[in-house]
Structure 1
Amino acid sequence: MIISCSGRGDKDSGSTRMPVDTIGFARYSWQMDSIMARVERIFMYEELNPCENVSDDPVKIAISPHDDYTYVGALYPAVLSQVRSPLVILFGVAHKARDFGLQDKIIFDRHQYWKGPYGKVMVSQLRESIMGELEEEIFIIHDSIQRTEHSLEALVPFLQYYNRDIEIVPILIPSMSYERMVELSDSLAAAISAAASQHHLQWGKDFSILISNDAVHYGDEDWSGNNYAPFGSDTSGYNMALAHEKEIITSTLCGSLDPDKVRKFCEFTVQKDNYKEYKWTWCGRYAVPFGLLTGYHLAVMEGIELKGSSAGYMTSIDHPLVPVVDLGMGITAPANIRHWVGYVGIVYK
């Protein structure tokens, strides 16, 4: 069952959220079709999925990258082809939250549609039902930050590629402490559960959770003057960084989903004495734990246990790039041994 916003007219351009990244992501159907054909031809992306416990159970939570399509390539479909529900609750990074003075609250917006490559993507009325179940002091409605944020718009074209009628509920997560995440995610999970029950929606079958995240941002060049290369910016440093990435992923994201692992993820990625500062530069340092905690609370309510499996790991410099220049697309940042990004895909069933 799909809950739509058909009762609210698209009265002006402000009701449709337009793409902010017109270089790294596909805006048109022919671009998206070409990207998918090239990914399948170059990578045969099915082989990237090393999940040991592949099952036919529906995905309830997934973690996907959000970087330029030319870099991430095969990992997008490796994750998003498994998200089969017709409604997806999106948890995104709020990259510019500090510029807007936003923190410690869940961020919603009022857009009725998002522009996708195959037409408008409808924002589900489930959003209003969820907000109606929440205490007002724990969330804010802020259209401006959503119009500047790219972390969710990267995912929408792939979701729409697989389902032209996909509906979404976009949510951004700004900086907050682990303790605040536990508190707010519990409230949000209860609100999602109540709203889904009202509309007779089943988790996994009718709706799922999708978390946007890029893994480590590594190197000592072109990071706005910052040095994000604690192991050095050579081959040895690259390999040590990959080993650290593997430790984070296997010890906190794979296997049973539980709060202790989520807390450990936060201990890996943010400073103990200042959660607003990086310890290890994952831009999803708030979106990932918040989305996972929300999923954990939902699972407890349903009396189930979720387990995470890897859909693959890549970096922006370890594989051939998907050609995009002839499609009118390009890159938004360099990729080399002194400036690279990691990408991980995880699915929870």
Structure 2
Amino acid sequence: MYRRRVLAFARRRRRWLLWAGAAAGCYLIYRHPAVASRRRRLVRLASAMASLADAAAAVASDLADFLRSDSDAVPQTLKQISKLAASPEASASASALSGALAAGVLRGYYAATPGSGATPGTEAALSDRVLDRVLSPDGERLASAVAGSFGRHLVLAFYSAAPSQPSTTGASPESWVDALTSRRCQRAIRSWVEVFTATAVGVFIDRTIHINTYDQLFAAATNPAYGARLQELFVALCSTSVGTLVKTSHGVLSSANSTGGDANASANSGSNGGVGEGWVETVSSALAVPSNRKLVLDLTGRATFEAGRSFLVCAVETACWGEGWR
């Protein structure tokens, strides 16, 4: 009997010792610096979430009251939110977030399209591909349809808007035209154009100062891929310019001959149809002017000199190539 009581007391004491050890361990863990710092972080996070919930509830309540009322005064909470959104810190955070999102989307796109290149450096840029799609026949049709629809709806909206009593407000088109044609407005427009042009030219020169435009033009002109297109372009330009020159000259000379007089008309009709002889006389009279004669001589001499120089250069290069080949 006594032994049983001793064993029961020992068991009871062991249990109490275990409970005391567990309590001491929990207390030590609770008072540990790492656990305390995490506990403080959790408390701050909980308080922040509670404060955010209170702010959202206050903003929602003020917004609901503002929408239900007939007042035009914006609540102070909405004004504070607008100030927060317009702050530089919020703008920087939004720009950084959007930049990171765009970079992630592009990297995912590059990784998901191994056929076009796994890395951005070994493939065409996204802007180049978009430009190629836009310049394709389907893209041109889509862009023209969008532009036409936009212009048409813009004109329809402009002309469908009812006039807002121009006689009382003084905002008639005539008053706008008078204001635009005034000296002060002309000076302002001239200043704006000068500033815009100077800024644009300055930025263009700063960005392209290390680029030789003529080298790029000649490189593009000598590219075999553009040979057929350049030939078609030059042929079209030459044919159009020559045709326009001939038609204009014929029209001017025909009108001059038709308005000349009966004696000149009969004299011209009696010798080779009149038009050819009038053109020859016009050219001869134009060449009889000393300034025109000097211009023609200068052009002829320059053309002859350039032709001779080109012939000699080609001959020398051919001879040099022949000696090197031998």
TM-score, normalised via structure 1 length: 0.14
Q: Which has the higher contact order (CA 8 A, sep 6+)?
A: 1
Higher fraction of strand: 1
- Considering only CA atoms, is the larger Rg found in Structure 1 or Structure 2? 2
TM-score, normalised via structure 2 length: 0.15
Higher fraction of helix: 2
